Structure 1
Amino acid sequence: MQPLVTIAVPSFNQGRFLDDALASIFQQQVPVEVFVMDGGSKDNSLDVIKKWAPQLAGWRCRTDDGQAASINEGIALGSAKFVCWLNSDDWFLPGGLITLLSALQSHPETPAVYGRSWNVVQKTGKRAPVWVEPFNESRLALRCIVSQPATLIRRSAWDAVGGVDGQLHMAMDYDLWWRLYRQLGALHFVDDFVAVNRDHEATKTKTLRYRHYREAMAVVRKYHGSIPMKWWLVRPYSVWVKSIIGKFRMI
Structure 2
Amino acid sequence: MSAEAALPLVTVVVPSFNQGRFLDDALRSIFEQDVPVEVFVLDGGSTDESARVIREWAPRLAGWRSRKDEGQAAAINEGVALGRAPFVCWLNSDDWLLPGGLRKLVDALQAQPGTPAVYGRAWNVVEASGKRSAVWVEPFSERRMAVRCIVSQPASLVRRTAWEAVGGVDGRLHMAMDYDLWWRLYRSIGALVFLDDYVAVNREHAATKTKTMRRRHYREAMAVVRRHYGRVPIKWWLAQPYSVWFKTIFP
1:75 to 76, 80, 90: 80
Q: What does the per-residue CA deviation read over 1:155-193, in whole Å, with 9 as the maximum and x for residues that have no partner?
A: 000000000000000000000000000000000000000
Deviation (angstroms), 1:77: 0.3
- Residue identity in the other structure for 1:167: R
Question: Letter of the aligned partner of 2:243 in structure 1?
Answer: S
Q: Which runs of 5+ in 1 are unaligned?
A: 247-251
Instruction: Write the letter of the residue equivalent to 1:101.
Output: V
Is 1:41 the counterpart of 2:42 in the alignment? no
Q: Which moved more, 1:236-245 or 1:89-98?
A: 236-245
Deviation of 1:227 after TM superposition, in Å, equals 0.6
Matched residue type, 1:84? C
**Matched position secondary structure for 2:250:** helix
Aligned to 1:211: 216
* Paired residue secondary structure (1:114): strand
Q: Which runs of 5+ in 2 are unaligned?
A: 1-5
Q: State the identity %.
A: 73
Paired residues for 1:189-200 under 5 Å: 189-200=194-205
The question of 1:51 aligning with 2:56 is answered yes
Q: Which whole-Å CA distance do the structure 1 matches of 2:100 and 2:242 have between them?
A: 37
CA distance in 2, matches of 1:91, 1:133: 20
Corresponding position: 1:124 with 2:129: yes
Query: Which AA in structure 2 matches 1:162?
Result: G
Alignment: residue pair count: 246
- Of the three residues 12, 16, 28, the one matched with 1:23 is 28
1:230 aligns with 2:225: no
Supply the distance in 2 between the matched residues of 1:15 and 1:9 (Cα, whole angstroms). 12
Q: TM-score, normalised by structure 2?
A: 0.98
The CA distance in 1 between the partners of 2:79 and 2:211, in whole Å, is: 26
Query: 1:201 and 2:206 equivalent?
Result: yes
Summarize deviations over 1:136-164 as a string: whole Å, max 9, x none.
Answer: 00000000000000000000000000000
Question: What displacement does 1:93 show?
Answer: 0.1
Per the alignment, residue 171 of structure 2 pairs with: 166
Q: For residues 201 and 30 of structure 1, what CA distance do their matches in structure 2 show?
A: 32
Distance across 1 between alignment mates of 2:104 and 2:92: 19
Please state whether the residue corresponding to 1:134 is helix, strand or coil: coil
Q: Does 1:240 align with 2:207?
A: no
2:110 to 89, 105, 108: 105
Q: Which amino acid aligns with 1:82?
A: F
- In structure 1, the partner of 2:3 is none
In structure 1, the residue matched to 2:192 is 187
Displacement of 1:109:
1.0
Q: SS of the residue aligned with 1:218?
A: helix
